[in-house]
Structure 1
């Protein structure tokens, strides 16, 4: 299966402390989070809101535990704010990640997004971009891609529930409008399944453009409730719509097979945000690590 020199395993701190709802896991410290990641057998992490931004301090804490930074989320507002403003924030973010040794930058367009709104139904309330906004987004992402390339880095676009790039059709449109040497794709099994898409079909179509992978599963009974009761993204998360790979409705074997057959190189990051009071982060991290080993050999 996968070559451990080419595919690395990380886990996101959002299982310990939720960036969108800081009250979930508010009591969990940065040190506990990265210590438990290492204890569960992971060697990488994305950056959470409790992580020190001083690279010297952060490097020391991570080196003690054998953890590297895989990436970090960047909220772009290319459809709603001036490009210069986004570029300025992006360069700071890029330089921080470059200093930490990351090779990819996760970018998600948050213009008009409802993902952070507690009472807006995630399906009925999601935004739809105008043609003018699509053009702004595509050209803006290409500019961020050029800036990333200056540091030999890549941007990976994160399709996301409650945003203007959520569905297969929207991902297709974004990919067709952007230069494939500047704008890459993050593949998130959970968000595609949540949206009602076919993750394997999308993976096969864009596998050579996918440079970062988020592994999360979906609890079907919670997803059904979100749809039926017209709930928001955040309410879905609180109810436990997301879980670790192997604990929900997604069949990961064909997904791993496609990635393996196409010589994927980069990170697999378990990103399964749940309420840590209901899903002990260390326990779930260990379960996820065991499942990935069974299915991939990593």
Structure 2
């Protein structure tokens, strides 16, 4: 059975935070909104946001939520930088263990991602001139394998998130990644659209490797404008490229029908990445989470 989770990033809780004057909610407010609208899981968000150890487990239990996953980006294309970043992976896995103690159901998946580079961040959408060469791919694959071993040694199964402004962004890069590794794929519908892919088609291409899903709707016109103007991911978020399900260019019906047909059995994490603005309706995140969960009830009551 598919579990539906939410994520702190949909409330603006991530590394970029809010625009000056924008309001960020605390962990109990985020969890309460998700519980209110029938979500059963939550993404970790920034390490420590949901608490640690007993506080973390108590908060999840209080709101009827399980940990679904958690973002861990690492500099996979630089051996020295990767070695220096391994302690951050270890620290995140400590939190996964704390959150999972005694929890039944779908286990959380540590969600690995590449950190990208200045060149990739300056060129959302990718392209041949910013792609890795064979040596770069070999380095990335070797370090992903090392990270996957660390994750599996702690009793979890890793997943890998293709992401805008990183070295695994376009459909060709995702194909190359899958050829070179044994790690499952987090399919993110919004980032795939930005990278030039088709989320519905991707289910037929990569369905057997997909072990985690981030569903978000996206306005292709905003994404194309950012790519054209050489913007960055903050421009994507600030431009409100990610919108409630049904308000963008994702074929929600086709994607969800296809996902169910694959027999997918795992977490579906609803993400609507946002940067809160000072003049936002204070109930905007609550309203959007209600809309998004209601759209998904056709497939996941």
TM-score, reference length from structure 2: 0.87
Whole-angstrom CA distance in 2 between matches of 1:141 and 1:33: 31
Cα distance, 1:127 vs structure 2: 4.1
Cα distance, 1:165 vs structure 2: 0.6
Question: What SS class does the counterpart of residue 72 from structure 1 fall into?
Answer: strand
Aligned to 1:149: 152
Cα distance, 1:160 vs structure 2: 0.6
Q: Which moved more, 1:88-97 or 1:199-208?
A: 88-97
Between the two proteins, the alignment pairs up a number of residues equal to: 286
Aligned to 2:97: 98
Cα distance, 1:244 vs structure 2: 2.8
Question: What SS class does the counterpart of residue 297 from structure 2 fall into?
Answer: helix
Aligned to 1:289: 293
Whole-angstrom CA distance in 2 between matches of 1:207 and 1:113: 31
Whole-angstrom CA distance in 1 between matches of 2:84 and 2:221: 41
CA shift in 2, pair 1:77/1:208, >3 Å: same
Contact residue 124 and residue 230 of structure 1 kept, 8 A: no
CA shift in 2, pair 1:114/1:59, >3 Å: farther
RMSD: 2.2
Whole-angstrom CA distance in 1 between matches of 2:216 and 2:51: 27
TM-score, reference length from structure 1: 0.88
Q: Deviations over 1:144-184 (max 9, x none)?
A: 22222223311111101111110011011111111x3xx11
Question: What SS class does the counterpart of residue 21 from structure 1 fall into?
Answer: coil
Gaps of 5+ in 2: 101-106
Question: What SS class does the counterpart of residue 165 from structure 1 fall into?
Answer: coil
CA shift in 2, pair 1:114/1:285, >3 Å: farther
Aligned pairs for 1:139-288 within 5 A: 139-178=142-181, 180=182, 183-277=183-277, 278=280, 280-288=284-292
Cα distance, 1:122 vs structure 2: 2.2
Q: Which moved more, 1:123-132 or 1:65-74?
A: 123-132
Aligned to 2:132: 129
Cα distance, 1:287 vs structure 2: 0.3
Cα distance, 1:30 vs structure 2: 1.7
Cα distance, 1:194 vs structure 2: 1.6
Aligned to 1:12: 7
Gaps of 5+ in 1: 1-5
Cα distance, 1:190 vs structure 2: 0.6
Cα distance, 1:111 vs structure 2: 4.0
Aligned to 1:89: 88
